[in-house]
A and B are shown apart, each in its own frame.
Chain A
Amino acid sequence: MEMKLETGIPKLDDFLEGGIESKSCVLVLADPLVDAATFVQQIVSKRISEGDKCVYLLTNKLPDDVERNMYQHGFAKDKIVFIDCLSHTIGKESSASYVLKLPITNGRPTWEEVKNLWREAMEKEGEHKFAVWDCLETFMGFAEEIPEFIKECKELNEKTKTTSAFILTDWGYKKEEIEKIKEVFDLVIETATIHKKLHYLNYYKVDDKPAVPFQITLTGVSLYIPKILVTGPYNAGKSTLVKQLSETAVSIDRLGTTVALDHGYVERKGFVCNLFGTPGQERFDWIMEVLSRDIWGVILIVDSTQPETFPRALEMLEKVKKEHIPFVVFANKQDLENALSPEEIKERLGVPIVIGGSALKGENTEKALLILFDEILKRNVFRGEGK
């Protein structure tokens, strides 16, 4: 069996059962609106922190640009050997190990010379390296020759124990050309953007796995769920849960009772989301309609010591949960003596997923969120969207 290389991209390593295969050729096929370079640099950073060397070929930016971008995202960036194809064209001195001495055009001599530099670096820079070609679209004029070159790269990878990733941003090339290129790669990661009411959402997709919405933040590539609703009966602990998960949470309350909403922005390693908490009392039910617009998932929170509130909990769930939106039940206050067990609550409510914990003490709060994320991904909401 081939060794797997972790990528550090949320969910990708799970989907690929450990990571991308060692010595494989990966295509990152991107939508112009997606920052594919930063996406790939996240993988570079992960590989460097695992001890690999990295070779990075650049056709449309400078090594400094890459280093600066990687620094801004807190990525590891030592041990990068650059193949600089741009500096010569703009008349800039380059300290890169490999420098293209021809103007970077889409002409034949440039294409041949860039390929030669790549071959040279593959041979010279030793084994166990991760190589990036950023970006392939510069040479889409030779689209017919690209599959042949990738086949050669696969042999080079085998020989020099290298794993490589090629970035190709699809500016609207012929479908057949793209298909032919996709075919030769061992793995294709497609990224795209959809936009709705000015809200842009990136996602990536591999094989038949569900699409993963992501956002590139200052800490790198994160799973991104725009909106999760936290609801449940009066005094179940909704505001406490939101506050527990978000340091910048805001609650609009009077004497400890939420009268409008709670809001929390959660940014943790690997995931980002917005939590919206509803009031619990029936007299505020109308606001749930406003808050439950375009939600991706629901956390229904119940007080495990108050089974008499369970019918109200189910009623609230009915109100917000349109069109089979995924939900989990958080059985709160498990630390109290007379709490019903999560299993018992599951039976009483007749729901598939109940997670027991304590919002106050932060027990299982993050776990509940992560389980809900998985349920959301399983729904594969992007099917048929985008391009």
Chain B
Amino acid sequence: MSKEEELKTALEDLKNVSGVVGSAVVTSDGLLIYSDLPESVNKRALAAMAAAIVGTGMQVTKELEMGMLNEVMVEAKEGKFISISVGTDEESPILSTLVSPRANLGLVMLEMEKAAKRIQRIME
């Protein structure tokens, strides 16, 4: 399997979790690597935004000496957009997942962590 196919499978498995609408993997500097978010989404712009919010989140945690950033969540009436770092350093890629409002968040987070580990392996 090519890396792209492996990535596709990892995101497909994540999508099978109830409430997950779709996900994107982007580089820390905001370029899109792969996404299975709905067609209507401007994915390249979203990739830039995901990098900016995670970058901002990291800056906030640094400023407030809060330790390592776990995730950044954008919570809205119609859904949640959760971004986590794939790896441990600032330059690691980002996994962002769009979740429906009533999803089991604990389960989604757990599956995202799993997917992130998988993606990290694929990238090595």
Q: Flag whether B31 is at the interface (Cβ < 8 A).
A: yes
Q: Flag whether B49 is at the interface (Cβ < 8 A).
A: yes
A260-B49 in contact (CB<8A): yes
A199-B33, A274-B31 as given contacts; A287 in contact with B45, CB under 8 Å: no
A260-B56 in contact (CB<8A): yes
Q: Which of B21-29, B74-82, B96-104, B107-115 participates in binding chain A?
A: B21-29
Among the listed A260, A287, A291, which residue makes an inter-chain contact with B29, where contact means beta carbons less than 8 Å apart?
A291
Q: Flag whether B88 is at the interface (Cβ < 8 A).
A: no
A197-B123, A198-B93 as given contacts; A294 in contact with B29, CB under 8 Å: yes
Q: Flag whether A226 is at the interface (Cβ < 8 A).
A: yes
User: How many Å from the CB of B65 to the closest CB on chain A?
Assistant: 16
Alpha-carbon gap, A248 to B46, bound state (A) = 12
Looking at chain B's contact residues, the main secondary structure is: helix
User: How many Å from the CB of B74 to the closest CB on chain A?
Assistant: 12
| Chain B residue, CB-CB nearest to A249 | B45
Q: Flag whether B42 is at the interface (Cβ < 8 A).
A: yes
A276-B123 in contact (CB<8A): no
Q: Flag whether A265 is at the interface (Cβ < 8 A).
A: yes
By a CB distance below 8 angstroms, the chain B residues around A294 are 27, 29
**Can you list, as one digit per residue, whether each of B57-101 has a CB less than 8 Å from chain A (1) or not (0)?**
001000000000000000000000000000000010100000000
A290-B55, A291-B52, A293-B91 as given contacts; A198 in contact with B7, CB under 8 Å: yes
B56-A287 in contact (CB<8A): yes
**Can you list, as one digit per residue, whether each of A247-266 has a CB less than 8 Å from chain B (1) or not (0)?**
01110100000001101010
B28-A265 in contact (CB<8A): no
B28-A260 in contact (CB<8A): no
B42-A287 in contact (CB<8A): no
By a CB distance below 8 angstroms, the chain B residues around A227 are 29-31
Q: Flag whether A171 is at the interface (Cβ < 8 A).
A: no
A197-B123, A287-B55, A293-B91 as given contacts; A263 in contact with B44, CB under 8 Å: yes
| Chain B residue, CB-CB nearest to A264 | B45
Q: Flag whether B51 is at the interface (Cβ < 8 A).
A: yes
Alpha-carbon gap, A260 to B28, bound state (A) = 15
User: How many Å from the CB of B38 to the closest CB on chain A?
Assistant: 16
B55-A199 in contact (CB<8A): no
A260-B52, A287-B56 as given contacts; A198 in contact with B33, CB under 8 Å: yes
User: How many Å from the CB of B34 to the closest CB on chain A?
Assistant: 8
By a CB distance below 8 angstroms, the chain B residues around A290 are 28-30, 51-52, 55-56, 59
A276-B30 in contact (CB<8A): yes
- A sample of 30 cross-chain residue pairs with beta-carbon separation below 8 angstroms, ordered by A number, consists of A197-B27, A197-B91, A197-B93, A197-B123, A198-B3, A198-B7, A198-B25, A198-B34, A199-B33, A227-B30, A227-B31, A248-B44, A249-B45, A250-B49, A252-B49, A260-B49, A263-B44, A274-B30, A274-B48, A276-B48, A287-B56, A289-B55, A290-B28, A290-B51, A290-B56, A290-B59, A291-B29, A291-B55, A293-B91, A295-B29
CB-based closest 4 A-B pairs: A290-B55, A293-B29, A263-B48, A250-B45
Residues of A near any B CB (own CB < 8 A): 197-199, 226-227, 248-250, 252, 260-261, 263, 265, 274, 276, 286-287, 289-291, 293-295
Residues of B near any A CB (own CB < 8 A): 3, 7, 25, 27-31, 33-34, 42, 44-45, 48-49, 51-53, 55-56, 59, 91, 93, 122-123
Known: A274-B31, A274-B44, A290-B51. 18 other contacts (CB 8 A): A197-B33, A197-B91, A198-B33, A199-B31, A248-B42, A248-B45, A250-B49, A252-B49, A260-B49, A260-B53, A261-B30, A261-B49, A263-B44, A263-B45, A265-B44, A291-B52, A294-B27, A295-B29
